[in-house]
Each structure stands twice: as C-alpha cells, then as structure tokens.
Amino acid sequence: MEEVPADDAQIGQLARAQAREGPGNRGDLERDYRGLRKRARQRHRERTPAAAELEDARVCGKARLAKQRDDVGDLRALRREGDDPGAGMEAEDRGRDGSDEAKQGKGEDVDHRSGPLGYGRHSKGSRGRAATLPTLRRKARCAIDAFMRILEQLLGGRDFARTHPAAGQMANFAYLLGDAAAGECLLVDPAWDIRGLLQIVEDRGLRLRGAIATHAHADHVGGRLFGIGIEGLSRLLELAPEARVWVHDADAEELVKLTGVDPNRLERVHHRDTLSMGETQLEFLHTPGHTPGAMCVKAGDALLTGDTLFVGECGRIDLPRSEPLKMWESLNRTLALLPDETVVYPGHLYGPAPTSTIGQEKRSNPNLNVSFDEWRSVLGA
C-alpha cells in the first residue's frame, strides 16, 4: 500500500520560510500549508474508496479524542464537587426497589412510570415493557465506557512504517487502545515502526502503559519474517522501560523466542482475564487456532481479533503451530456467540472494509455458522 502522498519536503520549506519571514506573512504561509495538506488528502482519497474510508475514520478519531479530553475535564469537575448523578440514581433505585417489593408482597400493582424518565414496567393491562432501572444503568455504563475509551486503528504503510518496503504489502493493523480519563494507553500488536507508533502516542498526549500481543507472529510482535527483519516488542521495551507486555500464556514462550524480550516483563493471561485502564475494562478471549495462544481483546462493544477473524475471512491454519479444529471452535463457539452489534477490528486489512460486526460476519463470512466437516472440506484443512 503506497504512502499517503503528503509532500513533507514542501511543508518543511514552508516552515523554514515562516521562521525567516517572521509573523508578517504568517497568514499567507498558513494558507499555503493548508492548501498543500488538502491537495495531499484529496490525492490520497482518489486512490480507492477503502483508503478514503480509512482517512475519514482517522480524522474523525482525532476530533473525537479532542472532545473526549474536554468532556472528561467536565466530568472530573463534577465529581470533585460531589455531583455524581450515577450515585443518586443508584440510591433512588434502592429506595424504589424496597417500596416495590413491599407492594408486591401485598399483591398491589407496581407502576414505575411515576419516575421522571418514565422507566419501569407499564401499568396493569398495558402492552409491552419499558426499560427497568438496571437495564438503564447497564446502558449508561456502556455509554460511559464507550465515551471514555480511546480506540484508534493504525494501518502499516500509511499511519506508521511508511518507508518500510514490506509494511504496506502486509497491511498490518496496530491499535492504540486507551482511556481518556486515565490518560494512558496500550499499543496492540506494535511492530514495523516502533518510534513511529510511540510518536503517535505522544501526539495524543497519552502515557504508554505497555503492549498487547494478540499472538506470537513476527509481523505482529517483531522478529524475522521471510528473511526480513521487523522491529517490535524488544525495541518497544527498550524505548519504554516501564512498559509491560500482555500475552496469552500459550504463546509466551514463542514470543520470547521470536523477539528476545525479557520474560519477566510479560504478563501472562488466560481466557476471560481482565485488565482495567481508568474507566475502560478490557477482557481477553482465548481464541486458539492460528496459534495456540491467539487471543482477542474485548473492550465494550469493540473486539480486536488479531489474526483469528478478518472481514470475510479467518486466519491461516496451514502454519506449523496452527490447529484447524481449534480455529473452528474459536470462530463458532466463542466469537459467534458474542452480540451481533460487536464491532470487529481485525489484525490486517484483508477484506473489503477495515471493520465489520459479528452480526455481519455471521451472515456473510463462510467460516462462521458452519459445521466443522463442511468447513474443513471447503478449506482443505
């Protein structure tokens, strides 16, 4: 995948000219700068619809992050003043639950519509049901998690590793996954260009806590692939001395062998283990098949699938450590059971779009909702 056609040389010339000329011609220089960037983005947009979609997502992500920071400041101010609406809702709910239980014990009807939101069950004889307070709280919790969560999809050869000859061809996605309230983040599958990825973290004003390896393959964690040296976790831990690496226990030894990282800096996780970053809760799902320790990372309604599930495809099962039966089980007995609205963020741009949903994949991906015998016969596994 070719580099975004931004003419950095021209932009550098403008910056030097601005320094020489001083503030007098700043307006003209800034207009020239904006014009160069606009034309660069337009040329990039005209390449393919997929590239345009990714560019739009990147721009929107930056704007969303800026708004998150402002709103998180407001939320912190509210909490300092003791004005936490969530606590009030829970206290009100406890009082209401007690009175409702007393009414039900006497055989009286309970009508929750008296509340300011009109929540609760409809009165006797009414059709359907309105949302109960626990349901509203769950939805509010999901909304807060999504609001606080930072998730940025970064494409190798475009957002980082622009000069690496193989990064664009491999089309790896790395992810910046963080929490706006805590101001910290993790890099998921950082490889190819560690300084470039760390620069993105710095540009976002976040503190790097560490990295997550979805599986131990060189294009995701560093090492050698087809004779090509790929920098990865060893370089990251060198440049970020306090960082840790979260990896599934079944892939930990292979990761050490590939990258040479210090085993003492690994956090070995298992199925359903969790990790908290501020208001953001991560859950690790063991999805073996592509490798014995392949895993997905769930953050609210977002699912980072590594090389287990792509848009319209699944990861390879013809590699030395792959297990076809395990892959089928991971796809059909773990991922297919997640809510349809779960958003899939794959480890490579191998499909027609950069993201999908579990519901869409169940409808269109031939690797889901299929028996193992049928699946094996189709793939020749």
User: Rounded to whole angstroms, how far apart are CA atoms 377 and 381?
Assistant: 7
pLDDT tier for residue 226 given thresholds of 50, 70 and 90: confident
Mean pLDDT of all residues in 23-27: 51
Q: Which residue has the higher pLDDT, 168 or 305?
A: 305
pTM value > 0.85: no
For residue 68, give every residue at least 6 positions away whose Cβ sits within 8 Å of its Cβ, in sequence order, or none. 147, 148, 150, 180
- pLDDT score of 277: 93
User: Rounded to whole angstroms, how far apart are CA atoms 324 and 317?
Assistant: 6
Cβ(273)–Cβ(283) below 8 Å: yes
pLDDT tier for residue 119 given thresholds of 50, 70 and 90: very low
- pLDDT score of 4: 42
pLDDT tier for residue 377 given thresholds of 50, 70 and 90: confident
Name the residue with tokens 């300011």. Answer: 116
- Over residues 240-297, the pLDDT tens digits come to 999 999 999 999 999 999 999 999 999 999 999 999 998 899 999 999 999 999 999 9
Name the residue with tokens 């509210």. Answer: 78
Asked whether the predicted pLDDT for residue 7 surpasses 60, the reply is no
Q: Which residue has the higher pLDDT, 174 or 69?
A: 174
- Greatest mean pLDDT range, 18-32, 124-138, 341-355: 341-355
Asked whether the predicted pLDDT for residue 92 surpasses 90, the reply is no
User: Rounded to whole angstroms, how far apart are CA atoms 161 and 355?
Assistant: 21
| CA-CA-CA-CA dihedral for 353, 354, 360, 366, to nearest 10 | 80
- Over residues 54-64, the pLDDT tens digits come to 555 555 555 55
Q: What percent of the chain has pLDDT over 70?
A: 61
Mean pLDDT of all residues in 317-342: 95
Asked whether the predicted pLDDT for residue 111 surpasses 80, the reply is no
- pLDDT score of 224: 93
For residue 254, give every residue at least 6 positions away whose Cβ sits within 8 Å of its Cβ, in sequence order, or none. 216, 291, 293, 321
Provide the H-helix boundaries in 171-315: 194-203, 218-221, 233-239, 249-259
- pLDDT score of 329: 96
User: Rounded to whole angstroms, how far apart are CA atoms 300 and 139?
Assistant: 11
Q: For the stretch 208-226, what's the b/e string if a residue is b when 16 or more beta carbons lie within 10 angstroms of its beta carbon?
A: bbbbbbbbbbbbbbbbeee
- Which two tokens mark 185? 């983040």
DSSP SS3 for 11: helix
> Which option is the CATH number for 143-379: 3.40.50.880, 3.30.70.2740, 3.40.50.2000, 3.60.15.10?
3.60.15.10
Mean pLDDT of all residues in 116-140: 49
**Residue spans per domain, the chain:** 1-47, 143-379
- Which two tokens mark 200? 């993105």
| CA-CA-CA-CA dihedral for 16, 21, 26, 29, to nearest 10 | -50
- Over residues 169-225, the pLDDT tens digits come to 999 999 999 999 899 999 999 999 999 999 999 999 999 999 999 999 999 999 998
DSSP SS3 for 82: coil
Q: What percent of the chain has pLDDT over 90?
A: 55
Asked whether the predicted pLDDT for residue 304 surpasses 50, the reply is yes
Mean pLDDT of all residues in 130-134: 60
